[in-house]
Amino acid sequence: MHSALQIPEILDQIISHLEKDDQKRCTPVCQLWSEVALDHIWRRIVYYSNLKKLSSAAKEINTERPASHTSNSPLTVKALNRLKLKYYARIRTLDLGYSGSWVVLRELMSNSGLTSTLFPNLQCLDCQDQIFDEEFSILILHSGIKSFSVWCSDGLSDILHLTQTIQTRMPNLTSLSIFLHPHQEYAGPLATLLENLTSLEHAEIPPFKDISPILWSLSRARKVQKLGVYMRYGRRVSRAAVDDTWSEEDGPSLEELTVPVVKCETIIPLLLRLHLLRVLELFVAQSSDRKCLFDALSHCPVLTKLSLTFTWEPRRLEFDDLHGILACRNLAEISLRSRFNLSDSDLAQMALAWPWLQQLKLECLGQNGPDHTSLWAVFAFTRLCPHLAYLKLSIDTAPLDTPPFIASSLPTQAEIAQAAALETLDFGYDPMRLGYDDEFVLAELLGKILPPRCSLLWEFSSDYDEDRLEDQLEDDRAQINRWLAVEKLFPRFAELYLKINQLKKRLAVSQGG
């Protein structure tokens, strides 16, 4: 057997399950790509069984299964050098996300006999509640690591030790994610760390009540492009003060921001200074002035992706509230989760404002207002947004009450190009209730405005009233059957109208000639 077939990883993952004849045929192939395979297999370590086998002088105990070994003897110098050159040097990512991996790594460090790093080319390290003692710092951490993620236990002394270790051993980090309980006293040490990591581009931090110290540090970290404040423990940011260091000329080039806030007013002062912001994701907990938020976003001219969730806002979102965001002409992806009161004409103005729109999700949290939305809004979006691929709307107008799909009904200033090849139309959670024979009307309407291969998404609630459970279940079964009929019939109508439109174009060309 060729020596390439004696590489444990190839035997385990490629060859061992084959018959003998097939193994022989695979030999010349393995000879060519064994090095490539090793690079791929060892690039990221998540499961540590193979690493454990290699970490000592292994002795085969089962000749039929080369993957079975036992070992207790220490590594020789020759074996250690082979491991470093052939395996450890290939490792780019270590995931220490569970206790078993940590045990194996500790055993590996104790048996290595090394006084320098085990994995010289390691770039990404993911740890969970590890103890960063001197041995770990010397053998694992080094200045070549670019991405570091860690879950920490509570304790100010532990946090101080962690931040000092990161700054000393991994000074060239470009990405840092620290997950810990958002005690406000931890914000200071973390802010100091962020300020001293001069190559940092991406930071993910806890939801401290006051993130002003973090923002103050980032105002001096010119390279930071992405800041994420994750949601945990139900905590949200209530203060995010900024000063004159966040100026348009000299401030940080922050391009992506994710943060859960108590009110819209919390984040507005910061948004007014982020003129390079491209991606924004906000989770707003309490009732607040949403119009001021959307007006502030009009100062972000290069914004391309926006996601806003208004969790406990009782007031419906009106067109006047979000009018300011229409100034962001480069928006390509929008997701709004709220209660809405938007008419067809409101949605048409939104479609007109965003010609580069590729994805729009208007997810209704509760019932819509008196201004109803019909399938005509879908017609408007597909005609005014030629790049649109995904559309999610809460339609609450019966199919028979849908206005006609005619170009003259669109905004007069619209430049109508070829209709968008919409890939997905999502009716959301609890779509409109279909009456008798409504499925045929709806299927034909969809066939007029959507391509045949467009996917339809819909989902019914399972929140039933126990006193009316049987009636509700029967009604839901009828609704599901009607929507299934729409899914089945709609592509046929779409194919038919596609052929009709093609014939109309040919006829127009022939008459023009």
pLDDT reported for residue 64: 45
Do the domain assignments include residue 16?
A: yes
**Which residue type, as a one-letter code, is found at position 219?**
S
pTM, full prediction? 0.82
Strands 340-341 and 305-310: unpaired
What's the pLDDT band for 61 if we cut at 50, 70, 90?
Answer: very low
Q: Are 147 and 174 in contact (CB under 8 A)?
A: yes
pLDDT reported for residue 314: 77
CA distances from 25 to 7, 11, 18, 28, 407 (A): 17, 14, 10, 7, 64
Q: Are 35 and 27 in contact (CB under 8 A)?
A: no
Do the domain assignments include residue 278?
A: no
Point out which residues pair with 307 in neighbouring strands.
281, 335
pLDDT reported for residue 106: 72
Do the domain assignments include residue 27?
A: yes
Token pair for residue 505? 């174009």
What's the pLDDT band for 59 if we cut at 50, 70, 90?
Answer: very low
CA torsion sign for 93, 98, 102, 108 is negative
Least confident among 108-112, 286-290, 341-345, 395-399: 108-112
CA 128 to chain centre: 21
Do the domain assignments include residue 280?
A: no
Least confident among 118-132, 349-363, 492-506: 118-132
The yes-or-no verdict on residue 85 having pLDDT over 90 is: no
DSSP H or E segment with residue 459: strand 455-459
Do the domain assignments include residue 31?
A: yes
pLDDT, averaged across the chain: 82
Do the domain assignments include residue 29?
A: yes
User: Residue 21 sits in which domain range?
Assistant: 1-42
pLDDT reported for residue 13: 62
Output 83 or 461, whichever has higher pLDDT.
Answer: 83
Do the domain assignments include residue 223?
A: no
Total number of domains in the chain = 1
What's the pLDDT band for 66 if we cut at 50, 70, 90?
Answer: very low
Q: Are 184 and 214 in contact (CB under 8 A)?
A: no
Using a 10 angstrom Cβ sphere, with 0-12 exposed, 13-18 middle and 19 or more buried, the burial of residue 408 is: exposed
Residues 429-477 have pLDDT tens digits of 778 888 889 999 999 999 999 999 999 998 876 555 566 657 667 888 8
pLDDT reported for residue 347: 95
Do the domain assignments include residue 8?
A: yes
